[in-house]
Structure 1
Amino acid sequence: MRIYMQTLHSAEQPLRYYHLHLQPDLLSGWNLVRESGIQGSRGQVTKEHFEERDEAERTLIKRRDMQLKRGYRVVFREGAPRDLNN
């Protein structure tokens, strides 16, 4: 599952991105990988580990909603869960 978000383009602010990626790990858990930064430059990457996929999906949706409130817009999504309608 993957969600890629960007801010709206403006002359005052550089274009920023926020990328959420959910992936299984080798020991039957799940990792939520978050990458953010200025478009065209190297971003900051953080990972969170979860034992259950449902918990990882809830956190992904929560993080997405936080970024939507900050002015980001979903540009691309892949493998969306049931309640990822925004």
Structure 2
Amino acid sequence: MRVFLQQLPGGADPARYLQLTLQPDLFGGWELLRESGVVGGASKLRRELFLQVEEAYSAFEKARDAELKRGYQITYTSGVPPR
């Protein structure tokens, strides 16, 4: 499951993006990947591990909703919830 969000540039600020990806790992757990940065520039990748799919999906929704409140807009989604 993946969602791509962008924050449109304002004034002299460049456009920013955030990509959230929820996927199973090789050991039966789940990982939430958060890639963020400036469009066309450097990026940062953070990874969180979860044992239960419910916890992982809850963290995914919480991260997505927090960024929507900060002014990001969803530009692309793929996949279905892993429930």
- Residue 34 of structure 2 corresponds to residue 34 of structure 1: yes
Which ranges of 4 or more aligned residues in structure 1 deviate by more than 6 Å?
Answer: none
Residues 20-61 of structure 1 show CA distances to partners (whole Å, capped at 9, x for unaligned) of: 001111100000000101001231000000001111111000
Instruction: Give the aligned residue type for 1:58.
Output: S
Moved more, 56-65 or 10-19: 10-19
Instruction: Tell me which residue corresponds to 1:22.
Output: 22
Q: Give the TM-score of the pair, scaled to structure 1.
A: 0.88
Instruction: Give the aligned residue type for 2:31.
Output: N
Q: Please give the secondary structure, in 1, of the residue aligned with 2:20.
A: strand
CA distance in 1, matches of 2:25, 2:80: 19
- Residue 83 of structure 2 corresponds to residue 74 of structure 1: no
- Residue 11 of structure 2 corresponds to residue 11 of structure 1: yes
Instruction: Tell me which residue corresponds to 1:53.
Output: 53
- Equivalent residue pairs, number: 82
Moved more, 63-72 or 7-16: 7-16
Q: Give the TM-score of the pair, scaled to structure 2.
A: 0.91
Computed over aligned residues only, the root mean square deviation of the Cα atoms, in angstroms, reads 1.4
CA distance in 1, matches of 2:54, 2:42: 30
Instruction: Give the aligned residue type for 1:14.
Output: P
% identity of equivalent residues: 43
CA distance in 2, matches of 1:74, 1:10: 17
